[in-house]
Structure 1
Amino acid sequence: MSKKIHEFNDIIRKLRKELFGKGPERINTVFVENMAVSTLYGNLTPTEKFITGTKEGAEMVHTARTKMIQELYVTNPPIGLEELVEAKLVHLFSDLKIEEDIAISVFVFDKNII
C-alpha cells in the first residue's frame, strides 16, 4: 500500500509543480474506501506568499489554488492517477489555509481504491 501512496503523491506533486511552478514540499495521503485524503504542506510560491500579504491578495490566491485545481482534475485527471488506483475520479474537494500554507484535497472515486 505504501508504494501506491508514494506514487499517488508523486503524481499530485508533479501536476501542481507544472501548474503553479512549485509543488508541495510534503504530502501525507491516506486511502479510505473510495477516497484519497491528501494533506499538502508548503504549497505557495514566494510570489504567492508576497501577494497574500493583503486580504484581497490572499482571497485571489485561495480562489486560484482551489477552484483552478478542482476544475482541472475533474475535466482532465492527472495522467496515471486513475490507472494507479484502478478507479475513475468523480469529485475533488480542495481547500487551502493560506496563513499556514496547508492544503487538503479529498479525491472521491467511483469505487473503493483499497
Structure 2
Amino acid sequence: MSQKIHEFNDIIRKLRKDLFGKGPERIHTVFVENMAVSTLTGNVTPTEKFIAKSLDGVKMVHAARTSMIQDLYAEKTPDGMEELMGSKLVHLFSDIKIEEDIAISVFVFEDTISQ
C-alpha cells in the first residue's frame, strides 16, 4: 500500500471514529483517475447492530450513516484530505449495507490523483 493511500485511509478512519464512536476495522482504497474508491468493513457499532434487528431499524441506521457522512463532507472536507490529494473534493458518493457491515465511498476530486 502506498503511503498516500495509507494517509488517506487514516483521514477516513479518524473522521468516522470521531463521528460514530467507532472507525472501520478495515479500509481498502484504490485511486482511479480523479476518484478514490474506498471499501470499508467493520463499521457498525454494537448499538447500531441492536437497532438493526428490525427492518425499520436497518433503514434508520442506513439513513443515518449515509446522510451524516454526506452532510459532513458537504459542510467541510476533512482536514488534510485536499492537501494530501493535491485537488479539491467535489463529490462524495457513499452507501452501506448494514447486514453485511460493508460500506463503499467514492470520493471525486477535480483533478487526476497522482500516485
TM-score with structure 1 setting the length: 0.98
Note the C-alpha offset of 1:65: 0.4
Counterpart code for 1:36: A
The one-character-per-residue Cα deviations of 1:18-51 (angstroms, maximum 9, x if unpaired) are 0000000000000001000000000000000000
* CA shift for structure 1 position 77: 0.7
Structure 2: give runs of 5+ residues left out of the alignment.
none
CA distance in structure 2 between the aligned counterparts of 1:113 and 1:70, rounded to whole angstroms: 21
Question: Which residue of the partner structure matches residue 6 of structure 1?
Answer: 6
Aligned-pair CA distance for 1:71: 1.2
1:97 aligns with 2:66: no
The answer for unaligned runs of 5 or more in structure 1 is none
How many pairs does the alignment contain?
114
Separation (CA, whole Å) in 1 of partners of 2:89 and 2:95: 18
**Structure 2 match to 1:84:** 84
Q: How does 1:1-114 map onto structure 2 within 5 Å?
A: 2-114=2-114
**One-letter amino acid of the structure 2 residue matched with residue 105 of structure 1:** S
**Distance of 2:84 and 2:38 partners within structure 1:** 15
CA-CA distance at 1:92 after TM superposition: 0.2
How many Å separate the matches in 1 of 2:91 and 2:75? Answer: 10
Q: Indicate the SS of the match to 1:50.
A: helix
Q: Secondary structure at the match of 1:99?
A: coil
| Partner SS state of residue 43, structure 2 | coil
Deviations 1:57-107 (A, max 9, x none): 110100010011011112211000000001000000000011100000000
Name the CA distance, whole Å, in 1 between partners of 2:67 and 2:86.
25
